[in-house]
Amino acid sequence: MRCFHRAGLSGGWPRLGADDKQNWGEKVHLSVVVPCYNEEESIPLLVDRLVQAIEPWADRAEIILVDDGSSDETWAAMEAAHKQHPVVRGIRLSANRGHQVALTAGLEAATGARIFMLDADLQDPPEILPDMMMMMDRGYDVVYGRRAERHGETLFKKATAYLFYRFLNTLSDVDIPKDTGDFRLVSRRSLDAVLKMPERARFIRGMFAWAGFHQIGLEYVREARVAGETKYPFKAMLRFATDALTGFSTKPLKMATRLAFVSLLVTVLMAIYVFGSLILFNTVAGWASVLLAISFFSAIQLLTLGILGEYVGRLYMESKQRPLYFLSQETGHPSAHAVDFTGDSRSITASPKAPAQKEAS
């Protein structure tokens, strides 16, 4: 069942001339962006369902599949999809850079006035695109999917996802919608705002929340994967959660100050105990309590250093200002905004944007 409800916050690259870029931007109204990693089994069904979903806008649409350095035949599947459906464009990154960077690559290549994002596993149904388009027709800039039910996921995954968003919103300075992902339809102006954010450790759903604009949620049932296995093991989820927390909150840093006050209080209480024992009993018993105190303070120090290390490491990575990614291959219409290099790969992050179709207000 679908329902609407208000959310908590409102090697030889073809060269295009300026006229070609302008004409292409004018033709594309809807862009669909799908990051893919080792999804050779999912792509045929994914493309078939996407082509059906965008049928009302087929003459003014593009489907952008981003191969995030897959080790299987994902790229071959993308090339086959393009031959069958010319509306499909394939973009291949030179190496695996992670889901959020691959999604960013697709978003930077998109030229539509509206941009639809989803994953290749089809857990998020593309068939609700018309509902999202209808909501955007009412004046919204972001229509994000909110998971009413989650099928095909372990209890551990459901529990950690539930706790993650609530914990994040407790510490974050931004109200990020609960039970959501990157599955959403966004307007050109909201996307342009997000693409102006230069951070490397990207948490795109949080970036859209921070950008603001008029937003609404659309509830849907999340299905099980159609093929393959999840590409988000526990280690990747932990890194993702850390990026989200350090990118949208300074409260962990403030927590170190609070821990210092707690340590001071414990120290004062222990001093009172020691001097009281000396006065009353003329002795201080218990090496165990001393070792326990040392362990306690050491743990606080290490925790504080760990928190500081995360933020310092983030600053270090940002300061190097390396491009987020390079392209190694492309199939379909070339990215209109890309800059040609003399080598075999291109940097997209420093490229000028192509003129994009703007929506009538």
Q: Which of 175, 177, 181, 179 is nearest to 148 (CA)?
A: 179
- Judge contact between 336 and 16, C-beta under 8 A: yes
Judged against a pLDDT cut of 70, whether residue 227 lies above it is answered with no
Q: Which of 53, 42, 56, 68 is nearest to 224 (CA)?
A: 42
pLDDT at residue 244, as a whole number: 66
CA 30 – CA 57 distance, rounded (Å): 7
Q: If you average pLDDT over every residue of the chain, what do you get?
A: 74
Q: Which of 258, 246, 9, 315 is nearest to 141 (CA)?
A: 9
Is residue 24 very low, low, confident or very high in pLDDT (cuts 50, 70, 90)?
very low
Residue type, 323: P
CA 348 – CA 71 distance, rounded (Å): 22
- Mean pLDDT lowest for which of 5-9, 47-51, 263-267? 5-9
- pLDDT tens digits, one per residue of 272-316: 776 766 676 666 556 656 666 776 777 777 777 777 777 777 777
Q: At what angle do helices 251-281 and 287-320 cross, to 10 degrees?
A: 160
CA 180 – CA 186 distance, rounded (Å): 14
CA-based torsion, 243, 245, 249, 255: positive or negative: negative
pLDDT at residue 283, as a whole number: 60
- Judge contact between 349 and 327, C-beta under 8 A: no
pTM to 2 decimals? 0.67
* CA atoms in the 13 A half-sphere facing the CB of 249: 22
pLDDT at residue 269, as a whole number: 73
- Judge contact between 142 and 190, C-beta under 8 A: yes
Is residue 98 very low, low, confident or very high in pLDDT (cuts 50, 70, 90)?
confident
The three-point CA angle 39-101-4 to 5° equals: 75
Judged against a pLDDT cut of 90, whether residue 65 lies above it is answered with yes
pLDDT at residue 165, as a whole number: 66
Contacts of 64 (CB under 8 A, 6+ apart): 31, 32, 33, 34, 89, 91, 106, 109, 110
pLDDT at residue 49, as a whole number: 92
- pLDDT tens digits, one per residue of 204-223: 888 898 888 888 888 888 88
- Mean pLDDT lowest for which of 4-13, 60-69, 72-81, 149-158? 4-13
